[in-house]
């Protein structure tokens, strides 16, 4: 069967619907990427034009189910264990240090956790630091993609996920299983996985107060106004002085002055200002 074409008008309409719903922004260079990514969805829905697919997403009684499928199809889930390790060292040193000075509880959120490598790396880093016991640690992990979360729940990983993992960590925290490795229960039970859309302020507020948020390699998929909305949403749950970690290609310097950037030799991160007023 030949591919269903997408016109410029259809692309513009679909792009707006996706941006409104998920924040994910497809610029003009991505028209054919979107067209090819969605061919299977059109086929599954029995729809033969993108104009009809847009209508389906707006008015069809089955649209919520289709949006959920779209969340899995549109998200880029690239991730691996111990990504940007210098930021994990800051978690083990600075963030844990602060928690120990103020009551001894630590609350960390992996805001777009994909298939789970990031929050599990947070858990292993904290176990390795031995400064704070698992019972005093809360690690929440959310993502938009139901398919990524399903994989996270299974806790099974193949070689590519371990490209930055020291061998001793694999031996200590994983069991060999069927051409890959399963995360051990003692690490897995430290992480609470759930579905979330970061552009929904009420969903973000429901996550509860956090000492640190890891939102790495996600803002790059959003346009500037959406990036601003998301980091403003975070300011409502981060405690004053709380830590925000972004990916190395991401910056919020020109977006908002709610946060103070901290630049070290090996990492950049942000701290929520003590007396901030939502801008």
Ligand X SMILES: C[S@@+](CC[C@H](N)C(=O)[O-])C[C@H]1O[C@@H](n2cnc3c(N)ncnc32)[C@H](O)[C@@H]1O
Q: Which residues are catalytic?
A: 37, 143
Nearest in space to 146 (alpha carbons), one of 115, 111, 110, 109: 115
Toward ligand X, which CB reaches closer, 35 or 217?
A: 217
76 counts as binding ligand X under rule CB under 6 A: yes
Question: Any contact of residue 123 with ligand X (CB under 6 A)?
Answer: no
Nearest Cα to Cα of residue 154 among 117, 123, 128: 117
Closer to ligand X at the Cβ: 3 or 160?
Answer: 160
Is residue 79 a contact residue for ligand X (CB under 6 A)? yes
Interaction of residue 75 with ligand X, rule CB under 6 A: yes
Could you tell me the two tokens for 15? 């792009």
Where b means 16+ CB within 10 Å and e means fewer, 266-278 reads ebbbbbbeeeeee
**x-or-dash pattern for ligand X, window 81-100, by CB under 6 A?**
--x-----------------
Asked if 78 interacts with ligand X (CB under 6 A), we say yes
Q: Does 77 bind ligand X (CB under 6 A)?
A: yes
The CB-of-223 to ligand X minimum distance in angstroms stands at 12
CB of 277 to ligand X, least distance (A): 25
Q: Which stretch binds ligand X (CB under 6 A): 71-79, 159-167, 231-239, 269-277?
A: 71-79
Q: Are 25 and 19 in contact (CB under 8 A)?
A: yes
229 touches ligand X (CB under 6 A): no
Least distance to ligand X, CB of residue 131, Å = 24
- Judged by DSSP in three states, 104 sits in coil
Query: Is residue 22 a contact point for ligand X (CB under 6 A)?
Result: yes
Answer yes or no: are the C-beta atoms of 233 and 198 closer than 8 Å: yes
- Closest approach of ligand X to the CB of residue 184, in Å: 21
Beta strand 106-110 with 210-215 is: parallel
- For residue 204, give the nearest of 173, 158, 237, 228 by alpha carbon: 237
Count of CB atoms within 10 A of residue 29's CB? 7
Order the strands of the 174-177 sheet from edge to edge: 156-157, 180-183, 174-177
Residues 6 or more apart whose Cβ sits within 8 Å of residue 62: 56
Q: In the stretch 142-171, what mask flags binding to ligand X with x, by CB under 6 A?
A: -xxx--x-----------------------
Stretch that binds ligand X, among 27-35, 96-104, 177-185, 192-200 (CB under 6 A): 192-200
Enumerate binding residues for ligand X (CB under 6 A).
22-24, 75-79, 83, 112, 114, 118, 143-145, 148, 196-199, 216-218, 221, 247
């Amino acid at each position: 069967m030949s591919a269903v074409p997408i016109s410029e008008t259809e692309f513009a309409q679909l792009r707006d619907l996706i941006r409104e719903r998920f924040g994910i922004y497809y610029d003009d260079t991505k028209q054919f990427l979107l067209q090819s990514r969605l061919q299977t969805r059109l086929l599954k829905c029995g729809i033969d034009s993108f104009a009809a697919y847009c209508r389906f997403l707006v008015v069809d009684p089955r649209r919520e189910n289709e949006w959920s499928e779209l969340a899995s199809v549109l998200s880029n889930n690239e991730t691996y264990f111990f990504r940007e390790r210098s930021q994990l060292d800051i978690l083990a040193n600075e963030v844990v240090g602060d928690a120990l000075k103020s009551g001894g509880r630590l609350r960390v959120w992996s805001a777009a956790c994909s298939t789970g490598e990031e929050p599990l790396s947070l858990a292993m880093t904290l176990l390795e630091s031995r400064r704070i016991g698992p019972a005093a640690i809360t690690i929440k992990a959310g993502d938009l993609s139901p398919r990524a979360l399903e994989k996270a729940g299974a806790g099974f990983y193949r070689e590519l996920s371990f490209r930055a993992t020291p061998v001793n960590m694999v031996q200590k925290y994983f069991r060999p299983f069927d051409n890959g490795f399963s995360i051990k229960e003692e690490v897995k039970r430290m992480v609470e996985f759930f579905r979330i859309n970061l552009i929904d302020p009420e969903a973000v507020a429901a996550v509860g107060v956090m000492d640190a948020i890891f939102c790495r390699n996600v803002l790059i998929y959003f346009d500037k106004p959406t990036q601003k909305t998301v980091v403003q949403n975070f300011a409502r749950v981060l405690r004053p002085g709380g830590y925000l970690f972004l990916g190395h290609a991401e910056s919020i310097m020109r977006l908002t002055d709610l946060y103070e950037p901290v630049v070290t030799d090996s990492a950049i991160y942000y701290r929520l200002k003590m007396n901030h007023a939502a801008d």
